[in-house]
């Protein structure tokens, strides 16, 4: 560091109009990740309120070779928004960049600043009679910039795609302090490389996203939801194919839930109860949606579920009678991570395999867990419609927490090796952050990894952007 810290802090403070947190007490809420895996220290926490301020901060940090850690809602699962332990990195919180700059219903688009909370963007779309489909359990606190930088998924990917597919343009502060202003509202634009895509899923390692032009869709006016007990995961995949065919692509969510998740949420989360009368091994939460208020979605759902019941694909099912039932189904689904946390330690694997291989993956990997992790219980749930499973293993009742967690790496290695055998991904939607840097090195195709390093060197030659996240060894 070439400038003395006090002088440097003054310069940073002057860029952000004094919004700089320097005391340990002020910084404390920013320094631990959501899962409490990492506890960092920071030079300071800067709270800019405009894209220009963000760009100026980066220009200064680049000149002084100071590592920068962007932070959105801090709900990420891989420690990407937490500084390291050196106390030398500047944390930049995007929370004050929270303006919706424009809503354009006729163009079906909206421009939001990076610090907008996802739920606020959904609300702004709704007020314009439109729909913004990204939907996550953390939507009350995660931010658009974080969603873009992790390429977030969630419960509507099946129908609308991941965050990457919901973006028309970006505004990004580059590591050298230039502002890339590319807030395009165009659906068609074949003018060379798709530069914006580099920043989607980059987890703050190439620049700081300051605003985005996002796609909107027709507002949802009819919804039908069901909670169904399936014979097994294979039956779930078969049912999904039939639903998609019979409902003409109105399926917006298809979530697989194991029995243990129903038990854990019923036990630990007030207000959650099993929607069915008797226990079953596997369930799916299904949602059909339409922009047409009079679309007979309940009928479509019944027409698919009834034959599946008589053929034995399904063991039982209940269709939501009203919004309250629907909210109850979703509460069960969305609180699985919290129920797991309250129940004890858990080892998490955010993996994906081709949809058609989900059942055989669960069988093989589940058998491995049963044979090798006697002190753990499998809670494999998630966005089955996208082939994405949160293949989590919870500490069994009475098991020794420390001994269970100590085997985490060995267990992860076995699960991820199996994922590779199934042509899957070791990070379906949560990213790499700090947590999976080694796993990326192990499993990414070597040429792909080399290209990632090339891009990193080209955009951030001094390696100031989120050092040690996604890729290591920069500069």
Nearer to ligand FAD (CB atom), residue 160 or residue 313: 160
Nearer to ligand FAD (CB atom), residue 133 or residue 305: 133
List own/partner pairs for 175-178 with CB under 8 A and 24 or more apart. 175/58, 175/62, 175/68, 175/206, 175/207, 175/459, 175/460, 175/462, 175/464, 175/465, 176/58, 176/59, 176/62, 177/55, 177/56, 177/58, 177/59, 177/60, 177/62, 178/55
Report the alpha-carbon distance of residue 250 to residue 297 in Å, rounded.
9
Stretch that binds ligand FAD, among 66-74, 241-249, 255-263, 283-291 (CB under 6 A): 66-74
**Cα torsion at 99, 162, 76, 140 (round to 10°)?**
50
Interaction of residue 42 with ligand FAD, rule CB under 6 A: no
Contact residue for ligand FAD among 47, 56, 62, 149 (CB under 6 A): 149
Stretch that binds ligand FAD, among 41-49, 131-139, 253-261, 438-446 (CB under 6 A): 131-139
Contact residue for ligand FAD among 40, 48, 67, 154 (CB under 6 A): 154
Interaction of residue 208 with ligand FAD, rule CB under 6 A: yes
Nearer to ligand FAD (CB atom), residue 210 or residue 289: 210
Closest contact distance (angstroms) between CB of 164 and ligand FAD is: 11
Interaction of residue 48 with ligand FAD, rule CB under 6 A: no
Nearer to ligand FAD (CB atom), residue 152 or residue 214: 152
Interaction of residue 213 with ligand FAD, rule CB under 6 A: no
Interaction of residue 40 with ligand FAD, rule CB under 6 A: no
Contact residue for ligand FAD among 40, 48, 67, 76 (CB under 6 A): 76
Interaction of residue 394 with ligand FAD, rule CB under 6 A: no
Stretch that binds ligand FAD, among 6-14, 19-27, 56-64, 428-436 (CB under 6 A): 428-436
Q: Which two tokens mark 289?
A: 């949606």
CB 83 within 8 A of CB 89: yes
Interaction of residue 136 with ligand FAD, rule CB under 6 A: yes
Contact residue for ligand FAD among 337, 385, 387, 424 (CB under 6 A): 337
Interaction of residue 74 with ligand FAD, rule CB under 6 A: yes
Total residues found in the chain within this entry: 475
Interaction of residue 93 with ligand FAD, rule CB under 6 A: no
Site string for ligand FAD, 445-474 (x = CB under 6 A): ---------------------x--x-----
Interaction of residue 145 with ligand FAD, rule CB under 6 A: yes
Interaction of residue 34 with ligand FAD, rule CB under 6 A: yes
Backbone angles phi, psi at 80, to 5 degrees: -70, -25
Give CA separation, 250 vs 222, 288, 295, 317, in Å: 10, 5, 10, 19
Closest contact distance (angstroms) between CB of 145 and ligand FAD is: 2
Interaction of residue 80 with ligand FAD, rule CB under 6 A: yes
Nearer to ligand FAD (CB atom), residue 295 or residue 386: 386
Closest contact distance (angstroms) between CB of 121 and ligand FAD is: 12
Size of the site for ligand FAD (CB under 6 A): 37
Which residue minimizes CB distance to ligand FAD? Answer: 146
Nearer to ligand FAD (CB atom), residue 143 or residue 213: 143
Interaction of residue 209 with ligand FAD, rule CB under 6 A: yes
Contact residue for ligand FAD among 204, 233, 385, 468 (CB under 6 A): 204
Interaction of residue 150 with ligand FAD, rule CB under 6 A: yes
Report the alpha-carbon distance of residue 207 to residue 185 in Å, rounded.
21
Closest contact distance (angstroms) between CB of 61 and ligand FAD is: 14
Closest contact distance (angstroms) between CB of 393 and ligand FAD is: 18
Nearer to ligand FAD (CB atom), residue 295 or residue 334: 334
Q: Which residues bind ligand FAD (CB under 6 A)?
A: 34, 69-77, 80-81, 94, 114, 136-138, 142-143, 145-147, 149-150, 152-154, 203-204, 208-209, 337, 429-430, 433, 466, 469
């Amino acid at each position: 560091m070439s400038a003395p810290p006090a002088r440097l802090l003054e310069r940073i403070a002057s860029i952000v109009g004094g919004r700089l947190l320097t005391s340990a007490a002020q910084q404390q809420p920013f320094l631990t990740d959501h899962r409490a895996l990492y506890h960092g220290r920071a030079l300071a926490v800067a709270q800019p309120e405009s894209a220009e301020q963000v760009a100026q901060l980066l220009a200064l940090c680049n000149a002084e070779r100071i590592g920068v850690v962007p932070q959105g809602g801090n709900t990420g699962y891989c420690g990407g928004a937490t500084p390291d332990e050196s106390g030398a990195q500047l944390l930049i919180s995007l929370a004050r960049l929270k303006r919706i700059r424009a809503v354009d219903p006729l163009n079906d688009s909206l421009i939001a600043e990076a610090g907008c909370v996802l739920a606020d963007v959904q609300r702004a779309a709704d007020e314009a009679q439109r729909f913004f489909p990204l939907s996550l359990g953390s939507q009350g606190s995660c931010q658009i910039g974080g969603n873009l930088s992790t390429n977030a998924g969630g419960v509507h990917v099946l129908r609308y795609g991941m965050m990457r597919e919901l973006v028309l343009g970006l505004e990004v502060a580059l590591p050298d302090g230039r502002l890339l202003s590319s807030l395009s509202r165009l659906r068609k634009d074949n003018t060379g490389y798709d530069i914006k895509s580099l920043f989607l899923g980059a987890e703050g390692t190439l620049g700081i996203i300051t605003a985005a032009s996002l796609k909107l869709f027709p507002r949802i006016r009819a919804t039908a939801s069901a909670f169904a007990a399936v014979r097994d995961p294979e039956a779930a995949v078969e049912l999904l194919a039939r639903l998609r065919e019979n409902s003409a692509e109105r399926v917006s969510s298809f979530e697989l839930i194991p029995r243990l998740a129903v038990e854990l949420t019923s036990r630990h989360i007030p207000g959650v109860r099993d929607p069915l009368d008797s226990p079953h091994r596997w369930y799916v939460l299904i949602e059909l949606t339409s922009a047409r208020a009079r679309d007979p979605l309940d009928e479509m759902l019944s027409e698919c579920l009834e034959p599946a019941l008589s053929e034995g694909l399904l063991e039982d099912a209940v269709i939501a009678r009203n919004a309250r039932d629907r909210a109850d189904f979703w509460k069960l689904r969305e609180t699985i991570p919290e129920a797991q946390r309250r129940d004890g330690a858990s080892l998490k694997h955010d993996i994906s395999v081709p949809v058609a291989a989900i059942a055989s993956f669960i069988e093989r990997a589940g058998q491995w867990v049963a044979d090798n992790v006697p002190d753990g219980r499998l809670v494999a749930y998630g966005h089955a419609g996208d082939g994405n499973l949160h293949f989590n293993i919870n500490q069994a009742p009475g098991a020794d927490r420390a001994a269970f967690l100590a085997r985490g790496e060995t267990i992860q290695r076995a699960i991820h090796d199996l994922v590779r055998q199934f042509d899957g991904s070791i990070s379906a939607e949560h990213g790499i952050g700090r947590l999976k840097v080694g796993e990326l090195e192990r499993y990414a195709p070597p040429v792909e990894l080399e290209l990632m390093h090339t891009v990193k060197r080209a955009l951030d030659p001094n390696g100031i952007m989120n050092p040690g996240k996604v890729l290591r060894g920069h500069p």
